[in-house]
A and B are shown apart, each in its own frame.
Chain A
Amino acid sequence: MPDQEKYNEADPMAGAGTEEEEMQSAIENRQFDLGTMEGETLVKGERLADHPEAPSADERVVPRSLWQDAWRDLRTNPIFIVSSLLIVFLVLVAIFPSMMTSTNPLNCDLSKSQLGPTGGHPFGFDTQGCDVYARTVYGARASITVGVCATVGAALVGTVLGGVAGFFGRWPDSVISRVADIFFGIPILLGGLVFLSVIKNKSIWIVVAFIVVLGWPQLARIGRGAVITAKEQDYVTAARALGASNNRLMLRHILPNAVAPIIVVATIALGTYIALEATLSYLGVGLRPPTVSWGIDISAASDSFSVAPHMLLFPAGALSITVLAFIMLGDAVRDALDPKLR
């Protein structure tokens, strides 16, 4: 964000920050994936003034908070409704897979290897003769668990560290930002290939921990940027001038305003983490059998794709829909929280 701050400055000199900020700005321009870039727009958008000739606001309408406004917007947004219903459904399936199928995904019959869909087995059988439908249903648990836990972990670590860096600046900022740089220096798939191949017996938690370790810098940067933006707002300066303590400033004034972009980016990141888990499993460094995972099944099915495409397409479809649902949710939340798009 600092470069955008520069744009907004009427006086170019005011934008020239310290050396530290300058470097940071250069780095910050860098972390773009869907989540990040949408988050950046969000932070920036809140500062844009209205068009001077736009119709004036109705004085009789009681001003609503950002969140109330966003909620009013979301309730009528079909994308939000569809994606959140889907997510509720997927979470239920993850918790109670037996609700959807009575077949045991590990109960396989080699004689049925690679058979196509038949009655009672709508998705057919995989190479091991396991029921693809049952495996697809049970696979939701691994994906959702990894996605949710990794996101919560990365968001917590990222928000705390990013918040500290943004709020205190100076050396805590330098240290945290440099450490984040180091983790950013490692492309995530590459890191996965090297780090995860070390650990032989992988539980879900190892994969979650890995994603948190390489994922937090992204959220820390969003948090840092949002906190810096919030810190510079006039009302925060006012509160500081009135003698509010650091804790109070942080919790009452800055956090509530910094949290919106983090939520948006985290929601979208959740989708990408699910895809990441599947990709790691596909590369053979993620989850391992007997854990039932879409990534493992897709990987196993890929060799026989031309012979028995159903083995790949059903878990791949489930995976894609899950990722899509979270990304759509994040998209809808961003639209609702971004006043500029109204």
Chain B
Amino acid sequence: MKMTPAVLIVGALMVFWASAFIIVGIPSLTMKETPSEIWRPLTPLEKAGHRLYVKNGCSYCHSLFIRVNDWDIGAERIAKAGDYVGVEPAILGSERTGPDLSQEGGEHSDDWNIAHFTNPRFTSPISLMPSWDFLTESEITALTAYVQSQGGKHADLRQARQREWKKQAVEAYSGGFDRNIEWLHAQVPEVWRRMPNPYPATEAALQRGKRIYQQLCVNCHSPVGDGNGPAMPFLSPPPLNFTTLRRHMVENRYIGGIFYYQIMNGITGTAMPYFKKHLESEKIWDLANYLAVSFVGHTDANTEPRGIDASFEGAWENRYPPPGRERPDLPVAPPAPVP
């Protein structure tokens, strides 16, 4: 075959346009924009937020579709074609340096999002996201509105739940520390409110708990657990001051199960997110032991009622017993590790 100019030019264009017809022509002719069951139009504020999302390159680190093999935020719903109706551009994204945001709406409270945009380390100390504090307040509000719309009608349901519980949480907080903690405890199911921490608070376990605290909790609840982390000014109600918990003991001890339940499920309506996707059982119990020992001063780890000790557990005596249960035969507990 001889390449003449005509063969080259006509041939190259013909093959290209044939391919283009297959790849973009046929989809244009056949794909229909049918809204999915969760789709709803964006409000003007959310649209403004979407423009900011596009302009600032959020899509280089956040994807907008959930795959069948995903476990992270939003994994409850696999993306459908009808989720993107009318969005221009719907940037699906090619990288996940941060989590997928397609179902993010209502996963976190509005004030969590605003603190997070101002400085992502405030709410997620290990985040790699830039601070967006150079944006104006109204731009951050728009971005928050956009993120909170992700997930459509599902997001609206979660947002409504956030708002409903926020009212109660703010009201409880305005009643003072003690009223607040009573309310918080009342939201934990009865079984959890009687469950001691089943894991021994060994040195290793406390170290693991400390590492998790520093990675996930420290910038809201602060290094000394008094709730005065850098995120605090953004949050209403503010993060819990753990040290006040010593006034709220059940049968003279602070119950590990309460910590576990609240870490696992979060406190909807407040900025406290759920951690059940980030942490699994042992890590949450380790963290609960760390909070109890460091900020409350004692832990109910491994006390009755308890089942068979797990096979890995050595002989362990609680060196951080609740007041009145000290064991004079044991060496004095070293001071609790402070981060």
A and B bound?
no
